[in-house]
Amino acid sequence: MIARLWSARANESHCLDYLQHFEHSVVPELRKRSGYVGSTVLARTTGIETEILVTTIWRSLDAIREFAGPDLETAVVAEEAATLLTSYDHRVRHFDVAMVDGAPPAIL
């Protein structure tokens, strides 16, 4: 499995809006993708900004390629989401999932 990591920053009120966008718009679209396993969104407030870290888990690089296109490291950010963010990564990082502790059996 492959973890795809992307981060962004938002002011505190827009962070909540982004989380709703992710839950109601992004997750339903990801679930339609073959090879999508699941996702996690982490948030931490530092001063006046909130940092958001999104991790999506995929079964293979081919599944990611079907989602992101030929340049696997290009971030896929809807315009609606971009307007909620003060800044975001235009490139993502991929990691092999080397170990998982306590994950539901469906992920493995």
% of the chain beyond a pLDDT of 70: 94
pTM (global) more than 0.85: yes
Give residue 91's pLDDT: 97
Domain boundaries, the chain: 2-96
User: From the CB of residue 80, how many other CB atoms can be counted at a distance below 10 Å?
Assistant: 12
Say yes or no to pLDDT of 108 above 50.
Answer: no
In the block, residue with structure tokens 């982490």: 42
CATH number of 2-96: 3.30.70.100
Give residue 100's pLDDT: 83
Say yes or no to pLDDT of 103 above 70.
Answer: no
Per-residue pLDDT tens digits for 21-70: 999 999 999 999 999 999 999 999 988 899 999 999 999 999 999 999 99
Q: How confident is the model at residue 94 (pLDDT cuts 50, 70, 90)?
A: very high
User: From the CB of residue 59, how many other CB atoms can be counted at a distance below 10 Å?
Assistant: 13
User: From the CB of residue 17, how many other CB atoms can be counted at a distance below 10 Å?
Assistant: 16
% of the chain beyond a pLDDT of 90: 86
